[in-house]
Structure 1
Amino acid sequence: MNVFKVLCLMVLLGWQLPAMAERIKDVSTVEGVRSNQLVGYGLVVGLPGTGEPGTGEQNRFTEQSFKGMLNSFGITLPASLKLKIKNVAAVAVHAELPPFRKPGQTIDITVSSIGSAGSLRGGTLLQTFLKGVDGNVYAIGQGSLIVGGLGAEGLDGSRVVMNTPTVGRIPNGATVERAINSPFMQGDYITFNLNRPDFTTAKRLEQTINELVGPDSAHALDAASIRVIAPRDASQRVAYLSTLENLEFKPADTSAKIIVNSRTGTIVIGKNVKLQAAAITHGGLTVTIAEQQNVAQPNPLAEGETVVTQQSIIDVNQDDSRAFVFDPGVSLDDLVRAINEVGAAPGDLMAILEALKEAGAINGQLVVI
């Protein structure tokens, strides 16, 4: 049976597959199908006096860039001339070049001030070359900025800033000039890389593909990668991958973890967390110290002086302590219910969980971030 017949059989049998939890395309990516980062340096002009302030060392690179731009148009300025370019700002331009984007298509770009400009609102980015990590130019950006921020400053130095006025975007602001070669069409295999590596998930994905395509069609290389035999013809490979990435299967349950964020007090307990036999006691001891000033007044006929004395009032209040005993294999529901009955605050809960972990009573991993 040739590859084309196999593809037809896969399409006909696809509707008979039982509905599972996740599609392959939602839990993995195809090796070689990725975006690439581009970056460039340019000038934004047309600003209403919110560009580089004054002259001096702080905007020397902007002045140099501006002179270089004029030189490219045949305008030469004296080297000693100090420019006042408050309507110009030096910016960094960056973008993501999606996979399979072809020359002539456009991508969005983000423009950020790298000098002392106060705002980029109302500015226009001049032609800027966007380069990849290999130094080649892959896109050229130009256009009017959309700035969501706002800034205003008074003569006395007071200033109001809303959002970030020194960053803007240009939708479809760069034109792709060079395509990036993708290894997707090369070789006899395609590889799925799991977003969350797991040996059980990798094995189940391998089994799901083999049940549809045939034995030994897919092989799990490790906990993250599953290699699948694929046709060499471009159109057949696209149809083949379209079928595979929409297959549904059930990924493995996540490992038993308790995530504790000590800065925000956020605690997340995974559903697979279990407790061994343990007893928890929670009680609070509150100590209040108050300082009170008293005035000592001598008798009218005595030759004494009025003095101020200090009096300390110490109050100790101990809340009732309650103990809870857990049998082995207690679930998350039982743990949460007991914690709510105890009335523990997030800080107390962190201490309880840490103590349980030290006692070896938690079947899971305690992660503090």
Structure 2
Amino acid sequence: MKSHSQTNSKRYPFYRAVYAVCLLGAMLMPQMSQAERLKDLAGIQGVRQNQLMGYGLVVGLDGSGDQTTQTPFTVQSIISMMQQMGVSIPVGTSLQLKNVAAVMVTTSLPPFSQPGQTLDITVSSMGNAKSLKGGTLLMTPLKGADNQIYAMAQGNILVGGVGASANGSKAQVNHLSVGKISGGATVERSVPSPLGHGNSIQLELNTADFSTASRVVEAINQKFGPETAAAVDGRVIQVKAPQVNDQRVAFLGTLESIEVTPAQTAAKVILNARTGSIVMNQSVSLETCAVAHGNLSVVINTDNAISQPNALSNGQTAATPNSTVAITKEGGQLLMLKAGANLSDVVKALNSIGATPQDLLAILQAMKASGALRADLEII
């Protein structure tokens, strides 16, 4: 009679095989779209960031500032600042400053920001300063696109890099001409928001899609009642909302938490010609087509032969180049791709013929031109 341990030892390989088959089947099955929160699919019209920018000076650098002879705007900024502070500099004075750098300060003003709130800022050198490490940004007004001041920036710069040089040798880790100041800007003016006006708001889908817009409208009406939401087009959805501010905020909080299953995205293939990278989504499919693949390589080698004259012949040593040209052509392969192939079949088929990323660029472009590739082809 067999023991219990012997019976289990024979069953375990069978269970492992069944588990592996089930796992492989689950991996090969097409993935269905999952429900996502509405806040991840759309935004509220008017709730947006605003970019701010300003020109300023960084002082206190350890000899790594702008070379003032090559950056005259740094000297002009110093003279203008000193005059505003009551310090008069004689005309014609040549300032040789090494501890000052002209910089651009950038940040984004979040929606609903109020005066007194702080913002993180990025400070970037615009001259030839070697490093901003250890510098202090002087008070810099930050303006919006309307040329109005919305924030004031000042503080000590934190640079995430380090560098050293001596006797012509140089070592550097990360970037030294850009730094950040956490909470370095203070909001001075708020941007009016149209969120509290009218009896409705407008949602804007991150990606225009008529099917997704229809599903969002259906989910909102099912949650808040019929005729609450109506699609304006494939991106904008108009939603009726309470006019009282606190009720509207609570309504929007509930609205953003609604889960919606987005429609399957359009088939698209993204090609990066500079890096050779290719990204395809799950919707890519093929018509029946044949692909031939073959490479033609040309190799040129040049060897310099030295001709040495005989002794006492008054000749000169001469170098004679000898070039060898070799042309190699790999055997082409013709591969048949059946219609309706999904993404995994496309990748497997193209890899089976030994196509490199650069070859795939040409192959996919030819497939698109022939009408065999059912996807939008985008080259970045």
Does 2:378 match 1:359? no
RMSD: 2.8
Query: Would you say how many aligned residue pairs link Structure 1 and Structure 2?
Result: 334
> Structure 1: any 5+ residue segments left out of the alignment?
1-18, 295-307
Alignment partner of 1:80 is 2:105: no
Which residue number corresponds to residue 297 of structure 1? none
1:143 counterpart letter in structure 2: G
Contact 1:127-1:141 at 8 Å conserved across structures:
yes
- AA aligned opposite 1:30: I
| Mapping 1:324-335, distance limit 5 Å | 324-335=335-346
Structure 1 residue 64, shift from structure 2 partner = 2.4
Q: Tell me the equivalent position of 1:256.
A: 267
Q: 1:68 to 1:290 in 2, by over 3 A?
A: closer
Q: 1:203 aligns with which of 204, 214, 217?
A: 214
Query: Is 1:28 matched with 2:39?
Result: no
Contact 2:337–2:349, Cα closer than 8 Å, also in 1: no
Structure 2 SS opposite 1:69:
helix
* 1:40 aligns to 2:54 (yes or no): yes
User: 1:261–1:35: structure 2 CA closer, same or farther, 3 Å change rule?
Assistant: same
User: Does structure 1 conserve the Cα–Cα contact (< 8 Å) formed by 2:53 and 2:106?
Assistant: yes
Structure-2 change in CA distance of 1:116 and 1:274 (3 Å): closer
Structure 2 counterpart of 1:111, one-letter code:
V
In structure 2, how many angstroms separate the alpha carbons of the residues matched to 1:152 and 1:225? 54
1:294-351 deviations in Å (ceiling 9; x for gaps):
9xxxxxxxxxxxxx998979676653x5444344322222222322332322233333
8 Å Cα contact 1:110-1:169 kept in structure 2: yes
Paired AA for residue 116 in structure 2: G
Mapped pair 1:138 → 2:150: yes
Give the secondary structure class of the aligned counterpart of 2:71: helix
CA distance in 1, matches of 2:330, 2:117: 71
One-letter amino acid matched to 2:374: N
Q: Which residue of structure 2 aligns with residue 126 of structure 1? A: 138
Query: For 1:342-357, what aligned pairs fall within 5 Å after superposition?
Result: 342-357=353-368
- Mapped contact 2:298–2:325 kept (Cα < 8 A): no
Name the CA shift for 1:368/1:128 in 2 (closer, same or farther; >3 Å): closer
Give the corresponding residue for 2:17.
none
* 3-state DSSP of counterpart to 2:160: coil
The residue that corresponds to 2:256 in the other structure is: 245
Unaligned residue ranges in structure 2 (runs of 5+) = 1-32, 306-319
Paired position in structure 1 for 2:21? none
C-alpha distance after superposition, 1:275-309 (max 9, x if no partner): 22223343456677878999xxxxxxxxxxxxx99
Q: Check the 8 A contact 1:190/1:228 in 2, yes or no.
A: yes
Counterpart in 2 of 1:112?
Answer: 124
Give the drift of 1:231: 0.8
The Cα offsets for residues 128-175 of structure 1, whole Å up to 9 and x where unpaired, read as 111112222111111111012334344x55544432212111100111
Q: Cα–Cα, structure 1 residues 121 and 313, in superposed 2: closer, same or farther, change >3 Å?
A: closer
The aligned residue for residue 278 of structure 2 is 267
Normalised TM-score (structure 2): 0.79
> Could you tell me which amino acid in structure 2 is paired with residue 145 of structure 1?
I
> 1:219 aligns to what SS in structure 2?
strand
Q: What's the counterpart of residue 197 of structure 2?
A: 186
Match of 1:70 among 82, 86, 97: 82
Deviations 1:84-129 (A, max 9, x none): 3222222211111111111111111111122232221111111111
Quote the residue 2:313 is aligned against.
none
- Aligned mates of 2:354, 2:296 — CA distance in 1: 14
Q: What CA distance in whole angstroms lies between the structure 2 residues aligned with 1:146 and 1:353?
A: 46
Q: 2:231 aligns with which of 220, 224, 230?
A: 220
Between stretches 61-70 and 125-134, larger displacement belongs to 61-70
The whole-number CA distance in structure 2 between the counterparts of 1:286 and 1:133 is 54
Kindly state the Cα deviation for residue 240 of structure 1 after the two structures are TM-superposed: 0.4
Per the TM alignment, residue 63 of structure 1 is displaced from its structure 2 partner at its CA by 2.1
Whole-Å Cα distance in 1 between the matches of residues 323 and 362 of structure 2? 36
